[in-house]
């Protein structure tokens, strides 16, 4: 197994993420500067925070230095919650540009969910549907914990690997494109099932 | 529907009393949290009842221990006076924070917290009592001890405007009595706010679930779990028969 780096955004619930990995017997190394990554590895960017805030932190931490590692498929990227949202071009939460590793935008839930179908914060345990994802079929229709006010709207539908539903509308729950993966819910806070899912996810990168 | 276990903390201890007056020590808070996690609780809320009076070392210690073994969301609050205090809770393992007293006194703190941590991770805790004469719902702070000059509807509108992501509301006079939820308060808040609402105070037995609204995001339970009067699985089974979407593993 290659190294797992956990990016310390300075804001996140990184302890929860760190212990979830420990539960799986993976040692993670916390980093706050991307210059420290020079070898094949998995980079995890946890959630909690504000879009502009985390983008600012990524800029300060020399994110540009590892773009070529990601492009060359030497570095796997796993973003959780806000860590997923920054993969896209932009977000209506803030003014900064996202990483643009996936095409699309991040939009406020209330843009699509208003009046009788109002959702400001999608918070709680929701069933996640992994459509045609053999790797994750055992998790199909399982409950995972969500807490977010913004949602990913990928340009390319093929990037979506899982969704959840509210009022018969799909909300993106996970995206994946080659070595880049983003999860809207919190596997680290979704009970033992979430931990198992995290394990499948990590293994999925190295198959 | 989320089942949230409410743990009121004093130093390292879980305490529980009546009407938010926590008088009785029940034991190590982390042990309770872990037991509830293993029994299928959906979320834990740690309420540090003395953080604003003394230091936070006790709650930090509990948090650090809990986060190693409990893999459901842990919401924490009590005594958050500024953005730095909130950072410290996150640094010690919180997944989400709540505020009450500081927000009531200086509402601009909500804007600052939202700009740092995002709306979804900021919960507004409200302690309320209905005034018997005027029939107005008063907003209280410091564990129901102090009455503010705010009224419930007006306060919720302002806090929502400033960006809180959800509301955790406690009916102070129902807390700890296990006589059933404050249904009048539930109706009132659901008519005021479209934010996710977690209702706290009064749960004691399974039949109390029958009067709940499908519009609630969650219910918080304290005494009846601490004193083993009900099991989490019984609560979930009952809610399922009432067609609530309830998590099972």
Residue pLDDT, tens place only, A85-105 = 999 999 999 999 999 999 999
Residue B35: inside a domain, yes or no? yes
B157 touches chain A (CB under 8 A): no
Question: Within chain A, what is the greatest distance between any pair of CA atoms?
Answer: 51
Residue B168: inside a domain, yes or no? yes
CA dist., res. B192 & res. B212, Å (int): 17
Structural domain containing residue B132? 2-241
The confidence band for B72, taking pLDDT boundaries of 50, 70 and 90, is very high
CA dist., res. B136 & res. B142, Å (int): 20
Nearest residue in B to A21, CA atom: B68
Residue A130 has pLDDT above 90, yes or no: yes
CA dist., res. A106 & res. A93, Å (int): 8
Residue B225: inside a domain, yes or no? yes
> Shortest Cα distance from B231 to chain A (angstroms)?
18
Domains and CATH numbers, chain A: 3-205 (3.40.50.880)
Tokens of B165: 């992501």
Residue B249: inside a domain, yes or no? no
Q: What is the DSSP letter of B125?
A: E
The predicted complex's ipTM stands at: 0.94
> Shortest Cα distance from B72 to chain A (angstroms)?
4
* DSSP string computed for B60-93: HHHHHHHTTT--S-EEEESS--SHHHHHHHHHTT
A25 touches chain B (CB under 8 A): no
How many domains does chain B fold into? 1
B44: which strand partners? B5, B74
Residue B144 sits in a domain whose CATH number is 3.20.20.70
Residue A142 has pLDDT above 80, yes or no: yes
Report pTM.
0.95
Residue B248: inside a domain, yes or no? no
Q: What is the pLDDT of residue A207?
A: 67
The reply to whether residue A191 touches residue B217, judged by beta carbons under 8 angstroms, is no
The confidence band for B50, taking pLDDT boundaries of 50, 70 and 90, is confident
pLDDT, averaged across chain B: 93
Q: What is the pLDDT of residue A1?
A: 61
How far, CA to CA in Å, does B168 sit from each of A196, B149, B243? Answer: 30, 20, 23
CA dist., res. B152 & res. B189, Å (int): 8
Residue B247: inside a domain, yes or no? no
Tokens of A76: 């796997």
Q: What is the pLDDT of residue B22?
A: 66
The confidence band for B213, taking pLDDT boundaries of 50, 70 and 90, is very high
From A48, A18, A4, A38, select the one nearest A145 (Cα to Cα): A48
Residue B172: inside a domain, yes or no? yes
Query: Among A5-9, A35-39, A159-163, whose mean pLDDT is lowest?
Result: A35-39
CA dist., res. B117 & res. B115, Å (int): 6
pLDDT, averaged across chain A: 92
């Amino acid at each position: 197994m290659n190294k797992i780096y956990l990016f310390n955004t300075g804001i996140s619930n990184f302890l929860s993420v760190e212990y979830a990995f420990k539960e799986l017997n993976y040692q993670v190394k916390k980093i706050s500067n991307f210059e420290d990554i020079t070898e094949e590895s998995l980079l995890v960017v946890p959630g909690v925070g504000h879009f502009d805030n985390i983008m600012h932190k990524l800029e300060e931490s020399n994110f540009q230095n590892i773009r070529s590692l990601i492009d060359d498929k030497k570095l796997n990227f796993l973003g959780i919650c806000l860590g997923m949202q920054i993969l896209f071009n932009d977000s209506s939460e803030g003014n900064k540009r996202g990483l643009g590793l996936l095409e699309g935008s991040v939009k406020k839930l209330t843009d699509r969910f208003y009046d009788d179908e109002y959702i400001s914060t999608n918070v709680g345990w929701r069933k996640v549907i992994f459509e045609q994802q053999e790797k994750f079929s055992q998790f199909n229709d399982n409950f995972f914990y969500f807490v977010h006010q913004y949602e990913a709207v990928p340009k390319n539908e093929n990037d979506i690997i899982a969704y959840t539903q509210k009022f018969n509308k799909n909300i993106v729950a996970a995206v994946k494109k080659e070595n880049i993966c983003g999860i809207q819910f919190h596997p680290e806070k979704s009970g033992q099932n979430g931990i198992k899912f995290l394990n499948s996810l990590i293994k999925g990168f190295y198959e | 529907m989320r089942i949230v276990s409410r743990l009121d903390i004093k130093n390292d201890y879980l305490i529980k009393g009546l009407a938010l007056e926590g008088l009785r020590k029940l034991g190590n808070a982390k042990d309770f949290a872990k037991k509830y996690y293993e029994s299928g609780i959906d979320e834990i809320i740690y309420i540090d009842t003395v953080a604003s009076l003394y230091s936070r070392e006790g709650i930090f210690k509990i948090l650090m221990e809990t986060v190693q073994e409990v893999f459901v969301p842990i919401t924490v609050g009590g005594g958050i006076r500024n953005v730095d205090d909130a950072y410290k809770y996150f640094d010690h393992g919180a997944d989400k924070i709540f505020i009450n007293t500081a927000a009531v006194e200086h509402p601009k703190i909500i804007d600052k917290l939202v700009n740092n941590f995002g709306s979804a991770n900021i919960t507004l805790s409200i302690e309320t009592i209905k005034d018997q004469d005027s029939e107005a719902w008063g907003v209280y702070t410091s564990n129901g001890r102090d009455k503010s000059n705010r009224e419930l509807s007006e306060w919720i509108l302002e806090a929502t405007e400033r960006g809180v992501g959800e509301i955790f509301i406690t009916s102070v006079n129902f807390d700890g009595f296990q006589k059933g939820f404050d249904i009048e308060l539930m109706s009132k808040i659901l008519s005021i706010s479209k934010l996710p609402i977690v209702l706290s105070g009064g749960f004691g037995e399974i039949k109390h679930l029958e009067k709940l609204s499908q519009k609630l995001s969650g219910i918080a339970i304290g005494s009846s779990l601490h004193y083993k009067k009900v099991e989490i699985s019984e609560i979930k089974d009952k809610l399922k028969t009432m067609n609530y979407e309830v998590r099972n593993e």
